[in-house]
Amino acid sequence: MQSTQRIAGETGDRRLHQRVMAPERALVAISEDYFSLPYNLADISEGGMAFRHINNSSFPLTECQMDIYLNEDLQISRLPVTVVSDQHLDDSFKIKRRCSVCFGELTEDQRWQLRAFINRPAAKAK
């Protein structure tokens, strides 16, 4: 079942766009890096996204392009991203991290695909 909860802003949050919880089977991966593992998409907005990864160190790239998948189907390709933060999560025995990225200059098609992904009917249903 997909989560439809909107992410509440934290004190001092400077986001221009409200983040939406990602569907359960949404993944992100580094574009054209066939040896990279996909990461679980946590939330997304028109300005950026956050994903979880398992690693003892921060996300290795500061700028790259990423693809978004839903149920193993490519939804949006080659989104330019810049890492904003990468924080350790205190959770169980695994070393989990949450990486937040902001989007760079998007093409018109990417903007349209991003809005469609964020506003898909299943995301709005309660």
| Domain residue extents for the chain | 20-119
What's the pLDDT score for residue 62? 83
Rounded to two decimals, the pTM is 0.80
User: 7 pLDDT exceeds 70?
Assistant: no
Secondary structure letter of residue 80 according to DSSP: E
User: Element (H or E) spanning 48, and its range?
Assistant: strand 48-54
pLDDT confidence bin for 91, thresholds 50/70/90 = low
- Burial pattern 71-109, b for ≥16 Cβ within 10 A else e, equals eeeebbeebbbebeebeeeeeeeeebbbbbbebeebeee
CA angle 50, 95, 27 (to 5 degrees): 35
Angstrom distance (rounded) from CA 100 to CA 32: 20
Count of C-beta atoms within a 10 Å radius of residue 25:
13
Summarize pLDDT for 16-60 with one digit per residue, the tens. Answer: 778 899 998 999 999 999 888 899 999 999 999 999 998 878 887
**Superfamily covering domain 20-119:** predicted glycosyltransferase like domains (2.40.10.220)
Q: Which carries the bigger pLDDT value, residue 79 or residue 8?
A: 79
Mean pLDDT of the chain: 84
Secondary structure letter of residue 62 according to DSSP: S
| Rounded mean pLDDT, 104-111 | 98
pLDDT confidence bin for 13, thresholds 50/70/90 = low
